[in-house]
Amino acid sequence: MKIIDGNQKPMTKVIEFNLTLFMWCLFFFLLSLLVPRVSAHFFDLPTNPFILFAILVTALSLLIATFFIFYWSFYNKKKYGKLTRRKMPKDVTLEEMAEKVNMPVEELERYRREKWLDV
């Protein structure tokens, strides 16, 4: 799923992909320099069975949550589609407003025209 749908040339897509990949690699390289303890064992898998189980449960939970979020979004799109049911409220007329606040219409018109009101 793309965030921005645009008509890009294939060469632009390749350049954009390679630049993005390079920047992510540079980011992880700089991160590994900042945190040397992590960089020494960045790709080592832990041998502790509990940690392996925790990693597995975390990955499965993330996968299941992602599936449900995508399913819910597709369900809402299919059920509701592009609804255009919202209507703007009707304008309030001076007569309705005068009736609501118990004032004459002429006085409300005068209040509307005034730049400053002292209450």
Closest CA to 111 of 101, 42, 20: 101
List the chain domain ranges.
11-42, 45-81, 84-114
Alpha-carbon distance 105 to 99, whole Å? 9
Cα dihedral across residues 77, 79, 82, 87: positive or negative:
negative
Alpha-carbon distance 55 to 65, whole Å? 15
Alpha-carbon distance 33 to 39, whole Å? 7
pLDDT of amino acid 39: 53
Per-residue pLDDT of the chain (119 residues; tens, 9 = 90+): 455 556 778 888 899 899 999 999 888 888 777 766 655 666 666 677 887 888 889 889 999 999 999 999 888 888 877 776 677 778 888 889 889 889 899 988 988 888 787 77
Global pTM reads 0.35
Residue with tokens 């080592």: 44
Calculate what percentage of the chain has a pLDDT beyond 90.
18
pLDDT of amino acid 44: 66
